[in-house]
Amino acid sequence: MFSVPSILWLGYKNPNEMPAGCGNKFPDESQLLKPADSAGKVLFQANCASCHHPLKDAVGPALKGILTGRDFNFLYLFLTKRNKVKNDKLVQAHKKIYIFNCMEFRYLTKVEVRNLEAFIHDYAAL
Ligand code: HEC
């Protein structure tokens, strides 16, 4: 007489041959979350994409390279407490080139800015 577990294993000796969704199979790499699907991308698309292209200048400057030499604290203050970075040289230079000011996002949390920073850094590597 068969025990229950051995019935379940019949025909499925190699776990990779088991049907997807039975819980024993890991998703293949293409199903795993990529940086492009990250929380940072979602935040970026909702709040920034109307003015910033990751690679090309648009209403605002391209994000590629924009954080070079700048840390998390800069991005956090720039987005949430703009007045504190008003003496930054590149901020001043951008103000002369661009017609609009970047929007201020006082409600963004540090975790959200971290996610945005990670997304921007992904593009800086391109
Ligand atoms: C309404 C258009 C607009 C939106 C929306 C916007 N930006 Fe900007 N951003 C600009 C413009 C214009 C500049 C350049 C002038 C300035 O610095 O204010 C800029 C500048 C910047 C800079 C460069 C700071 C510097 O001067 O070096 C960063 C970083 C930035 N934006 C990030 C973001 C992020 C992240 C978001 C979304 C959370 C965002 N921006 C949303 C228009 C926008």
Calculate how far, in angstroms, residue 91's C-alpha sits from the geometric centre of ligand 1. Answer: 10
78: tokens are 């720039």
Site to substitute for ligand 1 among 41, 42, 51, most atoms within 8 A of C-beta: 51
* pLDDT one digit per residue (tens) for the chain, 126 residues: 555 554 454 545 555 555 555 555 555 555 555 555 689 989 999 999 999 987 899 999 998 888 988 999 999 999 999 999 999 999 999 999 998 999 999 999 999 999 999 988 887 655
Cα separation, 116 vs 106, whole angstroms: 14
Helix (H, G, I), strand (E, B) or coil at 14: coil
Domain limits, the chain: 32-124
Fold of 32-124: Cytochrome Bc1 Complex; Chain D, domain 2 (1.10.760)
